[in-house]
Amino acid sequence: MHYDGHMNVTFGCPHCEQPARLDVPDATQAIACPHCHAKLRFPPGAWSSGRLTRCVVCPSTDLFLRKDFPQSLGVAVVALGIVSSTIAYYFGHIYLTYGLLFACAAIDFVLYYVVGQALVCYRCQTHYRMLAGLDGHAPFNLETHERYRQEAARLSDRQNATAP
């Protein structure tokens, strides 16, 4: 991936809760929400040895690596393969059935190798793109995700219980 000294950050502003996407130069120590102009300062230690080690939007240090690809599009490719090959099989076109399945697998294979990577925060779902130093980050971990999901559910329950 080409790295030009900028990273791209997609986040939900913790102040106005509006989605935002910014290109951030290397030397930046804070980002501002384009909607409410609230400044989000990078926490100390966010960068270590040229790689991002913690989220710049929330205090989380749990980040995971994933393909920067819409999951709904991936599911649509698989569903299209299943439906189209099932129809071809129903009408007795065996070669077409396997051809369609192979074509969908080939599309999936090409997309896997063409699409870049993104670093994602488990807690606030901030996405970091065009970032150097992604090699040391781990892929998605369901246990860590579930811990943050349960934490958010407990916080929501507490807020709902105290709301008038």
d(CA 135, CA 67): 13
The H or E element that residue 25 is part of is strand 19-25
d(CA 39, CA 62): 22
State the pLDDT at residue 27. Answer: 64
Q: What is the pLDDT along the chain (164 residues), one digit of tens a residue?
A: 444 567 899 999 999 999 999 998 866 788 899 999 999 988 887 877 778 889 989 889 999 999 998 889 889 999 999 999 999 999 999 999 999 999 999 998 998 899 999 999 999 999 999 887 787 899 999 999 999 999 999 988 888 888 66
How far is CA 143 from each of CA 65, 86, 122, 138, rounded to the nearest angstrom? 15, 36, 11, 13
Residue ranges of domains in the chain: 6-68+116-162, 71-113
d(CA 20, CA 9): 8
**In 3D, which of 64, 58, 46 has the Cα closest to residue 144?**
64
State the pLDDT at residue 158. Answer: 86
State the pLDDT at residue 107. Answer: 93
Expressed in angstroms, the distance from the first to the final Cα of the chain is 51
State the pLDDT at residue 18. Answer: 95
- In this prediction the pTM is 0.81
Judged by DSSP in three states, 1 sits in coil
